[in-house]
């Protein structure tokens, strides 16, 4: 199931692999969202981190963990001032182009976001949900 939209990132926003010199910027976006994706620097070095860039600034980030079958979204975050503009969607769509199967674990509050991207959602325990696309 591919799911989601093919609209791409909003005007003026580019999604691409994060560069080593963007480690601090990626970490800031993720930390501001209070997420703990693990080894961000390692993900960047492996090519498993994506950024959304607008006006030369990182406004969104996604960290992937490689899995035997596809990849796991360890974190996806967008700066507060740019939320609700399709940037998180664009990050997940690009991640989906890189991996045949994506999984994610998340809080119920973001369930609509993952469902809108075509993830099949089920309980994961501890009050969290698991999505597969």
Domain parsing of the chain, residue ranges: 13-99
Whether 44 shows a pLDDT value over 80: the answer reads: yes
Q: What is the pLDDT of residue 42?
A: 96
Whether 128 shows a pLDDT value over 90: the answer reads: yes
Q: What is the pLDDT of residue 76?
A: 97
pTM score: 0.91
Closest CA to 91 of 29, 23, 24: 29
Whether 1 shows a pLDDT value over 50: the answer reads: no
74-99: pLDDT as tens digits: 999 999 999 999 999 999 999 999 99
Alpha helices in 63-119 (DSSP H): 87-98, 111-116
Whether 57 shows a pLDDT value over 50: the answer reads: yes
Which value, in Å, is the radius of gyration of the alpha carbons in the chain? 14
* Local structure of residue 55 (DSSP, 8 states): T
Q: What is the pLDDT of residue 8?
A: 77
Q: Is 91 exposed, middle or buried (0-12, 13-18, 19+ CB in 10 A)?
A: buried
Q: Which fold has domain 13-99?
A: Aminopeptidase (3.40.630)
């Amino acid at each position: 199931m591919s799911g989601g939209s093919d609209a791409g990132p909003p005007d003026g926003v580019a999604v691409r692999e994060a560069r080593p010199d963007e480690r601090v910027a990626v970490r800031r976006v993720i930390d501001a969202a209070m997420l703990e994706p693990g080894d961000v620097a390692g993900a960047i070095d492996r090519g498993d981190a994506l950024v959304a860039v607008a006006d030369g600034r990182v406004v969104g980030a996604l960290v992937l963990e490689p899995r035997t079958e596809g990849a796991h979204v360890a974190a996806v975050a967008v700066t507060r001032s740019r939320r609700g503009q399709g940037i998180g969607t664009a990050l997940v769509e690009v991640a989906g182009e890189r991996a045949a199967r994506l999984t994610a674990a998340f809080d119920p509050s973001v369930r609509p976001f993952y469902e809108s991207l075509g993830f099949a959602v089920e309980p994961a325990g501890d009050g969290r949900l698991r999505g597969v696309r």
